């Protein structure tokens, strides 16, 4: 009965089954190139507007410029920031205790203290009874020493970090409640990276959009349920964590890994006014949905923050171009993130200002407003 059904259907709409594919050979007549060999060059000629420098001064909420302990490093990073119009960088590399204070001292001594702010990391290894109070007290000390936020909390939290009893440390483990409450009392944001792109949690088959990246980097494969939680399980833990601490300011790194489904992030924004999101390393998704992303950025313009993640100065202009122009079908900088082209979102100026610096200045009041006043 099942075999007969399609034939009957085709007869009723007047098609003969063979006519659809008669003109197209099923196999190429030459050996096909591999996924790494095929690099078609676009022949499309359209207006192109490179944007080497952001239109407004920027706070990079997700900076990984290396340890800022020497004058040479600080000067090299500041020179790159000046070119790009990045006025302030959040040092998001895990730093606490002396590792944090050494950097704060070095930046002060360099004369560039208004160009950097520092976040404090948390020691989440081997959590057991009493760990929460100990971590919270270290956080208070780091903040006294100059830290203005928590983070970046690494993806290992939730994926691989173990408790003292050997079990996986879940994102909403109650032992850590006191830490998140402390951040809320101190009035500092918690910048958290949870999970990774959802494709990394899916089977590595020929339908997976991140096949190449997962094959290049086997340590980005989180699809073994005997070792890792599923993507949705992890996100459910994160959502309970957020819901449990409404007085804490949360910033989800990488837009919570929901850029392939912005509506899901929108629901989180709608439910939790204390949640924000940062755009690092997800440009490939924004640039393939420029109209919907523009609508989303406009609707939630007070929730989205610029951040770059890996510190490669030559990559920042791709962000400026996607956010500021209406350019079409241009290359992205990393082929294993995306095999497709990008389009500009053409964001309105007031949205750009909030994403580039306004929201960061509101969340981190201790950022000097000096470089932003005349804009
Ligand atoms: Zn990061």
Q: Please give the pLDDT value at position 17.
A: 52
CA of 219 to the centre of ligand 1 (A): 16
Q: Please give the pLDDT value at position 371.
A: 87
Residue by residue, what is the 3-state secondary structure of 167-230? CECCCCCHHHHHHHHHHHHHCCCEEECCCCCHHHHCCCCCCCCCHHHHHHCHHHCCCCCCCCCC
Mean pLDDT by 10 residues, the chain (375 residues): 42 49 80 92 96 98 96 97 98 96 97 97 98 98 98 98 98 98 98 98 96 96 97 98 98 98 98 98 98 98 98 98 98 90 98 98 93 76
10 Å Cβ neighbour count for 200? 21
Residue 328, H or E segment: none
Which tokens sit at 368?
């000097």
CA of 34 to the centre of ligand 1 (A): 32
Alpha-carbon span 208 to 57, nearest angstrom: 38
**pTM across the whole model:** 0.93
Q: Tokens 């600080």: give the residue.
A: 74
Residue 119, H or E segment: strand 116-120
Residue 290, H or E segment: helix 290-299
Q: What angle do CA 115, 119, 121 make, to 5 degrees?
A: 150
Question: Could you tell me which residues come within 8 angstroms of residue 77 by beta carbon, excluding any fewer than 6 positions away?
Answer: 65, 66, 68, 89, 311
User: Domains plus CATH for the chain?
Assistant: 46-372 (3.20.20.140)
CA of 4 to the centre of ligand 1 (A): 56
Alpha-carbon span 100 to 123, nearest angstrom: 13
Alpha-carbon span 60 to 62, nearest angstrom: 6
Residue 110, H or E segment: helix 97-110
3-class DSSP state of 59: strand
CA of 152 to the centre of ligand 1 (A): 6
CA of 235 to the centre of ligand 1 (A): 18
Q: Minimal CA–CA distance to 361: which of 84, 88, 95? A: 88
Q: Please give the pLDDT value at position 24.
A: 76
Alpha-carbon span 281 to 152, nearest angstrom: 14
Q: Please give the pLDDT value at position 20.
A: 55
Asked, as a colleague might, if the bond just before 247 is cis with ω within 30 of 0, I would say no
CA of 2 to the centre of ligand 1 (A): 52
CA of 22 to the centre of ligand 1 (A): 51
What's the N-to-C CA distance of the chain in angstroms?
71
30-35 long-range contacts (CB < 8 A, ≥24 apart) are: 35/211, 35/212
Alpha-carbon span 167 to 374, nearest angstrom: 52
CA of 92 to the centre of ligand 1 (A): 7
Residues near ligand 1 ion, CB 5 Å cutoff: 152, 309
Q: What angle do CA 179, 180, 182 make, to 5 degrees?
A: 65
Residue pair 84/58 in contact by the 8 Å Cβ criterion: yes
Residue pair 90/62 in contact by the 8 Å Cβ criterion: yes
Alpha-carbon span 22 to 7, nearest angstrom: 17
Q: Minimal CA–CA distance to 197: which of 224, 220, 216, 177? A: 220
Q: Please give the pLDDT value at position 12.
A: 45
CA of 64 to the centre of ligand 1 (A): 7
Q: Minimal CA–CA distance to 305: which of 163, 197, 151, 162? A: 151
CA of 62 to the centre of ligand 1 (A): 6
């Amino acid at each position: 009965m099942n075999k007969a059904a399609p034939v009957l259907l085709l007869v009723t709409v007047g098609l003969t089954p063979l006519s659809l594919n008669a003109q197209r050979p099923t196999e190429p007549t030459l050996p096909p190139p591999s996924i790494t060999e095929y690099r078609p060059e676009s022949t499309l000629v359209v207006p192109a507007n490179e944007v080497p420098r952001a239109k407004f001064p920027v706070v990079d909420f997700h900076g990984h410029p290396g340890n800022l302990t020497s004058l040479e490093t600080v000067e090299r990073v500041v020179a790159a920031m000046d070119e790009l119009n990045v006025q302030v960088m959040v040092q998001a590399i895990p730093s606490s205790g002396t590792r944090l204070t050494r950097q704060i001292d070095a930046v002060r001594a360099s004369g560039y203290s208004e160009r950097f702010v520092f976040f404090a990391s948390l020691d989440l290894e081997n959590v057991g009874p009493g760990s929460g109070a100990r971590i919270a007290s270290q956080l208070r000390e780091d903040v006294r020493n100059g830290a203005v936020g928590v983070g970046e909390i690494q993806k290992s939290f939730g994926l691989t970090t173990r408790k003292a009893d050997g079990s996986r440390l879940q994102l909403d483990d109650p032992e850590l409640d006191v830490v998140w409450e402390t951040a809320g009392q101190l009035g500092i944001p918690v910048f958290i990276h949870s999970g990774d792109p959802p494709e990394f949690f899916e089977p590595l088959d020929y339908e997976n959009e991140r096949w190449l990246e997962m094959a290049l980097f086997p340590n980005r494969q989180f699809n073994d349920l005997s070792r890792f939680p599923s993507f949705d399980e992890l996100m459910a833990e994160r959502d309970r964590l957020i819901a449990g601490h409404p007085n804490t300011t949360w910033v989800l790194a990488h837009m919570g890994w929901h850029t392939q489904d912005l509506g899901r992030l929108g629901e989180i924004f709608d439910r939790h006014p204390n949640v924000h999101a940062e755009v690092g390393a997800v440009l490939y998704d924004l640039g393939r949905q420029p109209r919907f992303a523009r609508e989303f950025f406009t609707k939630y313009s007070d929730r989205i923050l610029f951040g770059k993640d890996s510190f490669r100065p030559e990559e920042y202009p791709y962000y400026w171009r996607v956010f500021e122009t209406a350019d079409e079908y241009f290359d992205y900088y990393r082929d294993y993130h995306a095999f497709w082209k990008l389009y500009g979102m053409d964001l309105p100026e007031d949205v750009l200002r909030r994403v580039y610096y306004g929201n960061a200045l509101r969340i981190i009041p201790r950022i000097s407003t000096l470089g932003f006043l005349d804009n």
